[in-house]
Amino acid sequence: MIQSRLRHRLRALNLSDFESYTKLLNSDAGRSERKQLISALTTNVSHFFRENHHFEMLCGQLLSNRINALRAGGKLRIWSAGCSNGQEAFSVAMALLTAEPEIANLDVKILATDIDPVVVEFAQKARFAERYINGIPNDLLLQHFARTDAPHETVYEAKLNLRKMVRFKELNLLGAWPMKSTFDAIFCRNVVIYFDQPTQNQLWPRFKEILLPDGLLFLGHSERIPAPEKVGFHTIGPTSYQRHG
């Protein structure tokens, strides 16, 4: 799989073998290529409103408990960790706006991060070809996206009310986290499945520390915290956890 994904980089660089490629990666001249390596190796598959029960819980449990504080001048912060092309972050924004339209005028921000600079750049543009929009109900598509019929494909661009809620940044989840504030909810779905168990075990306490005491953590459908109570969480639904303590 690795060879298959990297062969196009060898062709682009006019290199004859992987030994030459690894020498480039380890040299000062390979600094920019290391980003291309990350982009080639990461799996970027996402859909709008994927695993919809998480968005229902976000609005039905978290937002309903936060809305009065928001109206009084409070803030709501959500992190989409491993945001891929941006569908997850924009789904969060649409879910919140659907549940409480006044969210548009309150202090609500969504941080969306990914290790792959290519998908971060794509997400920042907030422009999705027709093949990307599966999962968006038609009424939300009309409300939150502007359609452009280009010569070769139809493109849907997120409107300003949606884009202003989301901030995209490049971030290695296993590196340092520069964020200073805590979050009300974290979506980290279909990311840790690619990590070994020791790496996952190091990640759970970090999520706990950056969540508010009753904050929520959502994982992908194939991901679990083996013993959530040992790392400061308890289960509140399928692949859904709440911080305690």
Instruction: Give the model's pLDDT for residue 44.
Output: 66
Catalytic option among 114, 116, 163, 243: 114
Q: What percent of the chain has pLDDT over 90?
A: 77
Q: What percent of the chain has pLDDT over 70?
A: 99
Give the right CATH number for 52-243 from 1.10.287.3510, 3.40.50.150, 1.25.40.10, 3.90.550.10.
Answer: 3.40.50.150
Q: Is 17 a catalytic residue?
A: no
Residue range(s) of every CATH 3.40.50.150 domain in the chain: 52-243
Structural tokens at position 146: 């502007």
Tell me the whole-structure pTM to 2 decimals. 0.86
The average pLDDT across 232-242 equals 96
Instruction: Give the model's pLDDT for residue 45.
Output: 67
Instruction: Give the model's pLDDT for residue 209.
Output: 97
Instruction: Give the model's pLDDT for residue 36.
Output: 82
List b or e across 126-165, with b for residues whose CB sees 16 or more CB atoms inside 10 angstroms.
bbbeeebbeebeeebeebbbeeeeeeeeebbbbeebbbeb
Sheet holding 183-188, edge to edge: 166-170, 107-114, 75-81, 183-188, 211-219, 240-243, 233-237
Going from the C-alpha of 195 to that of each of 123, 158, 202, the distances in angstroms are: 24, 32, 11
Residues 14-68 have pLDDT tens digits of: 988 999 999 999 998 888 888 788 778 776 667 899 999 999 999 999 999 999 9
Q: How many residues does the chain have?
A: 245
Instruction: Give the model's pLDDT for residue 235.
Output: 97
Instruction: Give the model's pLDDT for residue 221.
Output: 93
Instruction: Give the model's pLDDT for residue 159.
Output: 97
